[in-house]
Every structure is written in structure tokens, then in C-alpha cells.
Amino acid sequence: MEDDMRSIGEMARDSGLGVSALRFYDRAGVLVPAWVDPVSGYRWYEPEQLEEARVLARLRRAGMPLADIRLVLASWSGADTDLVGKLLRAHLCRLEQGLSDARSEFSALRALLDHRENVMPSLRMATVQLSIAAPELAAALDTVRFAASTDPELPMLGGVLFDIEGNSLHVVATDRYRMAVAQAGIGGYDGSRVQVIVPTPLVDGMRALLDGEEPVRLSVDGDRVTLKAGDRQAAGQCLDHDFPEYRRLLPVAGERRALIDVAVFREALETGPVRSDEAGAHALSVLRVEDGGTVTLCADGDDGPNRVAANREFLLDALAAGARDRLILEHGAPTAPIAIRRPGDEGTFSILMPVRLED
């Protein structure tokens, strides 16, 4: 083997393609390594393949179909640059047409949304006073806080939803990739449903007050929310946005359920095999939830059924937020969310969106 050949790790670093992507394109016959170690199976690439890999990364980011990418690379180093130009122009035309169609559809959706905003009643403008046990509210906030968004482009997700209805308070947070829901019993309120989005800094201020055992008082007056604990209080403005209808996002019971030992599962996640997502920015854990109620971490190359990939950091956060020695991990189809629930407390849970595997 020549000394100037590139390992798959070096190729991934210099090309913008993740290691898992390079393996996928090898199996697809698009970018085949120059040499594969017959013992370890490790892939090595010629230096001139770096340019092809960078071209492939750009085409991939532009969303070009795999069949066209294969033709572009087959013609890239040859004399048939005319075919490459035609393929690039054809794909650009498809993208432009797709963007035009998307603009038309979004204009129609915007008109429908404007109409709905004019006719739907608000759940925010109300006056509410209720009591709640401090430990119960503290546990609920600890369960959901990790899932609140920090994306400035989605300010409506930059807080925790307080959903008050009947004798229950549901607190909800989501950043689109995960969602956490917890509930707590309340007293002193029997009015209609009220929702407010409490910004995360105020949520943190409220949580700091919940160090006792006595009930605390929560009040909502229009767009202002206040939590009183004895002679201390945290108060501020609610976010002037509408939170997504989270009840429509709740998962149905998964086909496969496994009771997991949290400490054992956490260690397996921290030390077990991982893959990279498409951008190479996040470590993914690939799980298989068996019908018999066990969870297996899949090694690279394990292409069996019932696999689902999830962001490993998000899984670890959900385990910590579950605050139990044992939790239930639930999963159905490969494209369905993963649910992590507390045994005997079905109203408190986290859901994680799966990550598509390239292979």
C-alpha cells in the first residue's frame, strides 16, 4: 500500500463527507476505495479521489439524485464534460421549479393561516390563580427543561408551555427534534383551558424558588405570569406566540417496549458504537428494540431489522430527565419517534425524533 493513501477518517475530514457516508457510497458503487484491508475491512483512498469526494459532497448538499451523482462522477475525470454540464443544468432546473412550486403552496398556506388566526379564539388572555406543590412543579420543570429550543429563528419554542386545564398543569418543551411533557396536579382553579409560554430564563428563575415542601402560588394575568413561594417571587412577561398543538404530536403506544436499567443503558450509550449523522456533526446511537423487551446497540455493519438511530446526546439527556432507575423505552416503525416513559406515570415522557440512516 502506498504511503500517500488516505484513510477513511482522513478522507472524511478533508472531503466534508462523514465516515458513514463514505461507507454508504462505497456500497452504492459511487466512490469505491482504492484498497480495502482484507483482514480489518478498513478502507483506503488514492490522493486523487479527494477531488471526487469533494464534488460528491457538493452534489449531495445540493440534493442531486444518486443516479445522477453516479453519472457525474463517472464523467468528471474524463473528457465528457458536456454530460456533466447537462446533468448540473437539469438538476438546477428541477430545483428552481421545485422552489417555484413550494412558493405557490406556501402562499396558499399563508392565506389559510391568516384566516385561521382571525377566527380562532386565544387561550392566552385570561386571569388564573392556582396552587401547586413545590416538589411536584420542580420535578415537572426538571423533566422538560432540557428540550426547550435555543433557535432564534423559532422564538415560539424558546420557552416552556404551561397548559392549565381542569385540575392539571402540563408543562411542555420542544426543539422539533425532541419533546418532553410532564404533568402536575393543581388546586384552586376550575376555569377553562389556559396556555402561556414562559421564557426559559423565567422558567429557571421559577425553578430556583422551588426548594421547599410547601405549596406555591402560580398566577397568570393576561401576558404576565408570576410564581410566589412564601415571600419570594419570580415574575415576567409570557412569550407573545402560539405554541404548537403538542397533543397532536404525542406518540401512540409503540409496538415494542423495553424496561431498561438506566445506569446500564447509559454506560452502554457512552461506551458503545456510534455513527455520524449526514453532516458529521452529531454522534448517533443505533438501537434495536426486540419484541421480547430488550434493547441492543447495533455495531457498524449491523443491517438487521427494527433498527432506529437517535442522537446519542439527546438520549442521554432524556435518561437524565427521566429521573428514575428504570425507564420504559418504546418504539414502533423506523420512522416513528422513540418514547422514553416512567413506569406507572404515562403522562410524563420524552420523545425523540429518529435520524435517517443512509444505509
pLDDT tens-digit map of 1-11: 556 888 998 99
The lowest-confidence range among 71-85, 86-100, 200-214, 321-335 is 71-85
> Is domain 6-91 given the CATH code 3.90.1150.10 in the classification?
no
Domain residue ranges in the chain = 6-91, 127-248, 251-352
pLDDT tens-digit map of 20-43: 788 888 888 889 999 998 888 889
Q: 351 forms bridges with which residues in the sheet? A: 179, 339
> Is domain 251-352 given the CATH code 3.10.150.10 in the classification?
yes
CA distances from 176 to 248, 255, 283, 349, 357 (A): 13, 23, 18, 15, 19
Residue by residue, DSSP assigns 321-349 as HH-SSEEEEEE-STTSPEEEEETTEEEEE
Domains 127-248 and 251-352 alike in fold: yes
pLDDT tens-digit map of 45-98: 999 899 999 999 999 889 898 889 988 988 887 666 788 888 899 999 999 999
pTM for the model stands at 0.72
The CATH class for the domain spanning 127-248 reads alpha beta
